[in-house]
Amino acid sequence: MKRCSKCGELKPETEFYKQSGKPSGRRSECKQCSLIYDKLNRTERQKVAKKRRHRLGLQQPMDKNKTCPAFLGVYVAEQVLKNAFKTATPQRYGNKGFDFICGRGYKVDVKSSCRIKRQDGPDSWNFHIGKNTIADYFLCIAFDDRYHLNPEHLWLIKGDLINNKTVVSISESTLKKWLVYEQRIDKVIVCCNKLKNGTF
């Protein structure tokens, strides 16, 4: 008997295709799962693999894993967009160059950063722009840290002002320079509080 790595069911070894190089001489997934998996495209295969890692406890879902690099920039930003900016049209995950289209038709790329504490100077936030020339605007959200998720600043910066930069650093000593781009943060605070309380 052998347990299928995809469906998790215990089945006779004859229900697994032969494969050289494997200790058992058989594939790890059963014939039924193999047929289904072989018909999937690349995106669907990635989804299946991700669900399997979640099921086996090898990887936490993004919304539960605060150490995941994408937690702040993708999951939190996505929730903020959906709930604080009602006219925004979110794009699919991984869309090149921008995350949503605003009510006026502009492409906006969302960037998040946690406060970087320094002993020898003012604290700062680093936003990775990556020389993105596709976005019309960058929405930069500054948090205290990824565990408390307290938003401290929100800037909406025109793309052609910073799209030639790899990283834009905003420190407490340069806040006045960016004041003209700062936006109201009350809706973002409400959304983040809902996230922390699990009331979304």
In a domain, 60, yes or no: no
For 3-11, what is the mean pLDDT? 87
Q: What's the domain count of the chain?
A: 2
Same domain as 86, residue 51:
no
pTM: 0.62
* pLDDT range class, residue 184, cuts 50, 70, 90: confident
Same domain as 172, residue 74:
yes
Instruction: Spell out a b/e string for 80-95, using b for 16 or more CB atoms within 10 Å of the CB, else e.
Output: bbebbbeebeebeeee
Q: CA torsion 38→41→47→48, rounded to 10°?
A: -10
Pick left, alpha or beta for residue 130 (phi over 0 → left; psi -120 to 50 → alpha; otherwise beta): left
For 180-193, what is the mean pLDDT? 79
User: What pLDDT, on a 0 to 100 scale, did the predictor assign at position 200?
Assistant: 44
Same domain as 176, residue 82:
yes
Same domain as 45, residue 77:
no
Q: Which domain holds residue 122?
A: 69-197
User: What pLDDT, on a 0 to 100 scale, did the predictor assign at position 122?
Assistant: 94
Same domain as 163, residue 135:
yes
In a domain, 64, yes or no: no
Residue 127 has pLDDT above 70, yes or no: yes
Same domain as 82, residue 176:
yes
d(CA 161, CA 159): 5
3-state secondary structure of 25: coil
* pLDDT range class, residue 92, cuts 50, 70, 90: confident
